[in-house]
Amino acid sequence: MCERAAFLRAYKLENEESMAALCRRFGISRKTGYKWLERYEQEGEMGLLERSRAARLHPNQTPRAMEEAIIAVRQARRWGPKKIAVILARDWPPDQVPAVSTIGDILARNGLVIPRRLRRHCTPSTQPLAHAVHSNLVWCADFKGWFCTADGSRVDPLTVTDARSRYLLGCQGMCGKTDTIHVQAVFETLFRTYGLPERIRTDNGPPFASTGLAGLSRLSVWWMRLGIVPERIQPGTPSENGRHERFHLTLKQETVNPPASTPKKQQEAFDRFRTLYNEERPHEALGQVPPATQYKPSPQPFPARLSTPEYDDDMAVRRVRGAGQMKWAGKDVLVSQALKSQSVGLKAYDDGLWQVYFYDVCIGVFDERKLKVNPLPKPKKKPEKSDE
């Protein structure tokens, strides 16, 4: 800028050199010298500023109509580039739909992308998620972190998804009522609507689990009486339920940003999102088709009566009373309060030691000399094989 101003000052004020000589002294061509002179006469000092050399028009530039369509989908659905590309392909010719990276650039250019802080992620375990090979084999359940609506009411969303199809079975704002009675009522409604799954995967928090024997809770005992196997991830490893955890991020972005004015309005937002998520929103893990195209209800209906456990003839059967205790040799032995009014089977396997079963699941070891039911020992880790 200073060099250009000096050049023009020498040309206009000093006027001692020809344009050719002046340009040689400043190390520029005559064409450049005349260009600066012309811009100064038309725009003044602002004409001396450096200008972008980028082309005004690009042969591969995304048409304005397409860019507006991308922005409209993003504002309506808050979806990412991959899902937006799927939606555009329904109404536009395939050769006119931009690449996913281009859609991402358009969203960023228009301020529609929220930058995220880079985080280090652990490698997700393939077990026990890998066995979810068909619908209703595994349901995933969890509470998304609680929040308050605009009127100050607390909402605890209970979410249930099918692990294979990603179908959102239920999203219920519990309004602080996360005890067994209210959660069981939600699951009973889902069981009557969709049938029974084979397994339900949860974390180790209440009411799904307890600190008692085998982590049993009244809710998990009810599931077992329905023929459902409770699955609990290892403590502190949410990656074992990673599909459901990732779903919670989408739920938060779509329904809680910002929260609704009242719990009733928030539930309406959950219900709208559930319909959109299941029937319209493409899912990348399913080949960009909605979960509703992959899910089918379970053929196992909700029973009219709960089953009672049956044990082999070689097992001693004891009934757990209201305080969670069973009788052995005339004395009370604590088993689990979650099993009150249920019967357990005991199978002798060593001198004075019995395996305690509820249905066909071994839940502990009874030492008749100490009159105590101990938790099952933790399985030992297998030694790693040497490469030699």
pLDDT in tens, 20-42: 888 888 888 889 888 888 887 88
pLDDT (average), residues 244-257: 88
Lowest mean pLDDT across 46-60, 168-182, 304-318:
46-60
Tell me the pLDDT band of 119, cut-offs 50, 70 and 90.
low
Alpha carbon distance 149, 127 (integer Å): 37
pLDDT (average), residues 45-62: 76
Chain center to CA of 242: 7
| pLDDT recorded at residue 223 | 96
For residue 224, pLDDT over 70 is answered with yes
* DSSP-derived 3-state class of residue 63: coil
| CATH classification (class only), 131-293 | alpha beta
For residue 164, pLDDT over 80 is answered with yes
Structural contact between residues 156 and 170, judged by C-beta atoms closer than 8 angstroms = no
Local structure of residue 11 (DSSP, 8 states): I
* DSSP-derived 3-state class of residue 55: coil
Local structure of residue 283 (DSSP, 8 states): B
For residue 387, pLDDT over 50 is answered with no
Structural contact between residues 267 and 172, judged by C-beta atoms closer than 8 angstroms = yes
| pLDDT recorded at residue 196 | 96
Alpha carbon distance 309, 273 (integer Å): 40
| pLDDT recorded at residue 117 | 65
Structural contact between residues 159 and 248, judged by C-beta atoms closer than 8 angstroms = yes
Q: Which two tokens stand for residue 256?
A: 């809680």
- Per-residue model confidence as pLDDT tens digits over 102-111: 999 999 888 8
pLDDT (average), residues 281-291: 88
Cis peptide before 379 (omega within 30 of 0): no
199-202/229-232 β-pairing: parallel
| pLDDT recorded at residue 379 | 60
> DSSP alpha helices (H): ranges in the chain?
2-9, 19-26, 30-43, 64-77, 81-88, 100-109, 180-194, 218-225, 242-255, 263-279
For residue 360, pLDDT over 80 is answered with yes
pLDDT (average), residues 76-104: 88
Tell me the pLDDT band of 76, cut-offs 50, 70 and 90.
confident
Question: Average pLDDT, whole number, for the chain?
Answer: 86
